[in-house]
Chains A and B, each alone.
Chain A
């Protein structure tokens, strides 16, 4: 397992593979995560996200391939895990201990100052519930405690598996802000989710997984720009929409009518040209908006299904 180390990378994996019996859970995964960025790790349930994270954390042994975390090979997790915070497969703590005591167990184990526990609880919004037993926590509170535990080592790399599960919209917003804040402080955040819309908002780069294979790894914006934007046009007279589609078709752009608007595939810069062509044809447009496809739409477009 040898992988060239690049000091600019938090994570680098090459041909990482995990096979259970005959079934490949992760197959020849190749991707890199630059230091100091928020990287979304997306894919549907069962696509291999958690298995990949487990391999990166040394919890399971890869069947093949190699990788480095913070410049250290993944087959020596003891060399890098003291700089890594992680919450994987959801939060898991001792039900009979309080939230604070659970954190103290991990702080003691990792050799961190137990005095920092209250500060971490405050940071994730559990400051006043630290003394309550873990078993009394709601799912959202458990999730927050999991994030607090991941922050114990003041990590250079934070790996979170579905951190917003069970959180209400306000909680999701808080976690988003927290992750962005951590990235601004220099922490690399590698966050998995099957909620693509969530990841789209917070990530600088993406690793997209489907059926154990990486189908995209790179900047989020690059992925979205790969897809053709849609120009949504509405006219004062809805009878004109068919005529508008015909104009677009003649100009080499396909489209369709959805409800009371024409959705025409075309680059953003073609929108004013369409506007002029419509005007010349006597069509007055009441709305003209180029819309980039969402990450979700892009994902379905790339995978060719809507799982």
Chain B
């Protein structure tokens, strides 16, 4: 397992992938956090879907992490793309057969790859948290947000909770990506379908079918990252997302273990 983990990291650490992904994560986080502070007085809202996060809300202890948690959905999409492409490319490059010759225990290979990509996702969440926190402090003056509460123990606790929730949501998105990568065995259909479902199809269903958001995986993963919201409670989101992922992982593990590896 540990060998698979480090072998996978040799691929993940290549500069174009590593720096490119971390750059995208930093950029996305910077954009979301900046908009939160720079558009604080805008009538069109300063958060997703035209919502308004007021100066008073930002000045609370958890105000420090609002930008960070708001970035979670986009971080999740980045994770979905990375997990899906890193998995599916083993098929398109034909490298899976090399891996299986060197590590014939298929579930060990799969788990090692997953854990490796989870650690990659962890780095991306750390980058995001750092960028968001730094920007929040940096832009608070310009937005006239008082930051006294941000340096209290409550703010620290909030940061830890938000970090855990964002990390869990990113892993959930990534797991969806890995499942799609294994099902489609090619990065383009895996990523296209994942992104189309999460960004378009789910939103259409949620907008047209009452209460459907409570059962949509993408909506619930976002709920998870924010610690619970108007869509569903945190515990409901956690249970339903876990159930979806467990079923998906079990199905895909059986498939990966039994499926012939041939071009």
Please tell me if the beta carbons of A78 and B105 are within 8 angstroms of each other in the complex.
Answer: yes
Please tell me if the beta carbons of A110 and B14 are within 8 angstroms of each other in the complex.
Answer: no
Please tell me if the beta carbons of B104 and A93 are within 8 angstroms of each other in the complex.
Answer: no
Which residues of chain A are within 8 angstroms of B6 by Cβ–Cβ distance?
A: 108
Which residues of chain B are within 8 angstroms of A64 by Cβ–Cβ distance?
A: none
Please tell me if the beta carbons of B98 and A149 are within 8 angstroms of each other in the complex.
Answer: yes
**Residue in contact with B102 in the complex, picked from A54, A61, A104, A110, CB distance below 8 Å:** A110
A111 at the interface (CB under 8 A from B): yes
**Residue in contact with A97 in the complex, picked from B14, B99, B258, CB distance below 8 Å:** B14
Please tell me if the beta carbons of B98 and A60 are within 8 angstroms of each other in the complex.
Answer: no
Q: Secondary structure of the B side of the interface?
A: helix
- What distance in Å separates the Cβ of A190 from its nearest Cβ neighbour in chain B? 14
Please tell me if the beta carbons of A105 and B94 are within 8 angstroms of each other in the complex.
Answer: no
Which residues of chain B are within 8 angstroms of A89 by Cβ–Cβ distance?
A: 94, 97, 263
Given contacts A92-B93, A96-B16, contact A59 B262 (CB under 8 A): yes
A77 at the interface (CB under 8 A from B): yes
A35 at the interface (CB under 8 A from B): no
Please tell me if the beta carbons of B97 and A61 are within 8 angstroms of each other in the complex.
Answer: no
A106 at the interface (CB under 8 A from B): yes
Complex formed: what's the CA distance from A192 to B10 in Å?
31
Which residues of chain A are within 8 angstroms of B48 by Cβ–Cβ distance?
A: none
A170 at the interface (CB under 8 A from B): no
B3 at the interface (CB under 8 A from A): yes
Task: List, sorted by A's number, 11 A–B pairs whose CB atoms are closer than 8 Å.
Answer: A51-B262, A54-B260, A58-B100, A59-B261, A81-B101, A93-B93, A93-B95, A105-B10, A108-B3, A109-B102, A153-B102
Given contact pairs A54-B262, A59-B261, A90-B94, a sample of 16 additional A-B residue pairs in the complex whose CB atoms are under 8 Å apart? A54-B97, A54-B260, A54-B261, A81-B101, A88-B97, A88-B101, A92-B93, A92-B95, A92-B97, A96-B16, A96-B17, A101-B14, A104-B10, A105-B11, A109-B103, A149-B98
Question: Which residues of B pack against A, CB within 8 Å?
Answer: 3-4, 6-7, 10-11, 14, 16-17, 89, 93-95, 97-105, 258, 260-263
Question: Which residues of A pack against B, CB within 8 Å?
Answer: 51, 54, 57-61, 77-78, 81, 84, 86, 88-90, 92-97, 101, 104-106, 108-111, 149, 152-153
